[in-house]
Amino acid sequence: MRSRPTMLLLPLAALAFSCDPQAEATYQGEPLITLQGQVTSSSQLPPLDAAMLWQRGPPPSSTDQELATRAPVQSGFPARFTLHLYQPPPAAARKTLAAGEVVFARANAGAVPPGMVVGTAGESPALPTPSSPGWGIDARHWVVYLAADVPASSLTAWWLGAALPAGFHLLRVAPFDGRCIKPADLDACAAELTARGLPDDGSDNPGTARSFCRAPYRLSPAPADEELVLDLSTPNAGAGGPCPP
């Protein structure tokens, strides 16, 4: 008779242990990066999700993208969202600036229709661009993944605005009009990038020092508490207009 309680407890114990994998099935682990943000608009917001979009084309293009993760936008003033990324960047988004440089990948936050399937990629009309009417991306920030620590003397460190460690980083993107760079400043920039391994043949051909010097943007690390901003009111404007005197 004393053995009966033990025999009854065994199935119960097995049932309890069988629940553990089910509980863990939805656990994705610790996020690789968590980003806070807000959505602003001059009119009532449509239903939308915030998303992280890996950019598969060369910087600073945003026409060949892959949806990495998305999250609902919570109503309020301002409307807010929290993005968690659990997976590393896909192979198609991983690039180097030049031979021997650290592998990187870059992403933008964007507004997408609710329920869009993660992994949607390419030049899909449903994916936003900086000029998308009603939708859009935060072109003023990039999320950058670095596969290794960036050496201080490298081209990548100059490009990023700092010698950053391996991992994920939020960067500010400032428009820069390469037409307006003064000749002496252009020569100095080219000389610095030549010292970092780039050729300088006096042209602006892709891959040369002067092509980087004239790039239409400059990067810098964002403060730790800086948020993403999806502004649906107007398209993100780039550099343009006359050069300052």
In tens, the pLDDT along 183-222 reads: 999 999 999 999 999 999 999 999 999 999 999 999 999 9
Residue type, 133: P
Nearest to 212 by CA among 189, 181, 235, 232: 189
Q: How many CA atoms lie within 13 A of 70 on its CB side?
A: 20
Q: What angle do CA 89, 145, 57 make, to 5 degrees?
A: 65
Q: Is the pLDDT reported for residue 134 higher than 70?
A: no
Take residue 80 and report the two structure tokens written for it.
């807010």
Q: Which residue has the higher pLDDT, 45 or 126?
A: 45
Nearest to 92 by CA among 123, 147, 55, 60: 55
d(CA 242, CA 197): 32
Element (H, E) at 218: strand 217-221
Nearest to 36 by CA among 190, 230, 221: 230
Q: What is the phi/psi pair of residue 119, to 5°?
A: 105, -15
Residue type, 221: P
Spatial neighbors of 22 by CB under 8 A, at least 6 apart, are: none
Q: How confident is the model at residue 9 (pLDDT cuts 50, 70, 90)?
A: very low
In the three-class reduction of DSSP (H, G, I as helix; E, B as strand; rest coil), residue 39 is classed as strand
DSSP 231: E
Mean pLDDT value across the chain: 85
- The full set of domain ranges for the chain reads 29-176+217-231, 178-214
Instruction: Work out the end-to-end distance of the chain between its first and last CA atoms, rounded to an integer number of angstroms.
Output: 99
pTM of the complete model: 0.84
Tens-digit pLDDT profile for residues 66-86: 999 999 998 888 899 999 999
Write out 123-161 in H/E/C secondary structure.
CCCCCCCCCCCCCEECCCEEEEEECCCCCCCCHHHHHHC
d(CA 9, CA 132): 62
Q: Is the pLDDT reported for residue 13 higher than 60?
A: no
Q: Which residue has the higher pLDDT, 171 or 124?
A: 171
